[in-house]
Structure 1
Amino acid sequence: MRWLLILLGSLALAQAAVTPGWVRLVPPVVKDTAAYLTLENRGKTPLRLVGAETEVAERVSFHQNNREHRGGQVVLGMRPLPYLDIPPRSKVEFRPGKYHFMLEGLKRPLKAGEKVVLVLKFQDGSRLQVILPVEER
């Protein structure tokens, strides 16, 4: 059974691909930042992203920006997602104003040009390591 789970995890990784992204440089006093990339499902079955982690932050979550109308006003915000499904043969863009990873509780200030390792976790137990540069944009 264990070999079957390892094989299934390998299959999920074979169908997932990441287009290079970046981590937003924030002032040293700011303890949260965002990471962006494009996640592609090259397979024939859906992928479910259920989490992420990095050594530079206490936790990583992913969010979707949203816009609501309240009392005649437009309210912009973001809401955390418990998971994100990537349909077969499609891409999901994590970019400013859309989906994004929140690196919460930075353990130290990040520096422009440094590389951050982000590990994406999928429902089947597979993990995908992504290396993202810190950039001021």
Structure 2
Amino acid sequence: MRRFLPWLLLFLPALAQVAVEPGWVRLVPPVVPDTAAYLTLANRGKTPLRLVGAETPVAKRVSLHRDYQEHRGGHAVLGMRPLPYVEIPPGGRVAFRPGGYHLMLEGLKRPLKAGEKVELTLLFQGGLRVKVTLPVEMR
């Protein structure tokens, strides 16, 4: 146990820096291969946090995205762009919600069911990993 205590003490400040507020995963029809996850991340620390990715056992990959709207030729064009990271400023919060930031669960390995719990591991720059469990909901 004594060998692991220094490592644990090294990660405790980082874990205390991240607060994850409740979120959810969008229920999609069984034939749809991708879905999105939403939550809010709060940075309780004095240094920026950089979310660089995520993992889940229910999808082949997870990527960070942000929805956008552009006007072209008098028409509104909606879409989403992949992001290399999302930065959470010191003392700040970033909401992942429909119409904004979201985590794309790409290549679902099986259909998800309403009420099921999906485990995600959030990956931060510097090696911090934070596990969250989100319910699958139809919204």
- Please give the range of the TM-score, normalised by the shorter of the 2 chains: over 0.9
Once the two structures are superposed, residues 24-83 of structure 1 have per-residue CA deviations (whole angstroms, 9 ceiling, x without a partner) of 000000010000000000111100001101000000001111111112211111101000
| Unmatched tracts of structure 1, length 5 or more | none
Rounded Cα–Cα distance in structure 1 between residues aligned with 2:126 and 2:9: 10
Tell me which residue corresponds to 2:31.
29
Give me the identity figure in percent: 73
Number of equivalenced pairs = 135
Alignment of 1:1-137 (within 5 A): 8-137=10-139
TM-score (norm 2): 0.92
AA aligned to 2:28 is V
Rounded Cα–Cα distance in structure 1 between residues aligned with 2:51 and 2:9: 18
Alpha-carbon RMSD = 1.6
State the Cα distance separating 1:13 from its structure 2 match.
1.8
Secondary structure class of the residue paired with 2:15: helix
Rounded Cα–Cα distance in structure 1 between residues aligned with 2:22 and 2:33: 24
TM-score (norm 1): 0.93
Deviates more, 1:70-79 or 1:110-119: 70-79
AA aligned to 2:98 is P
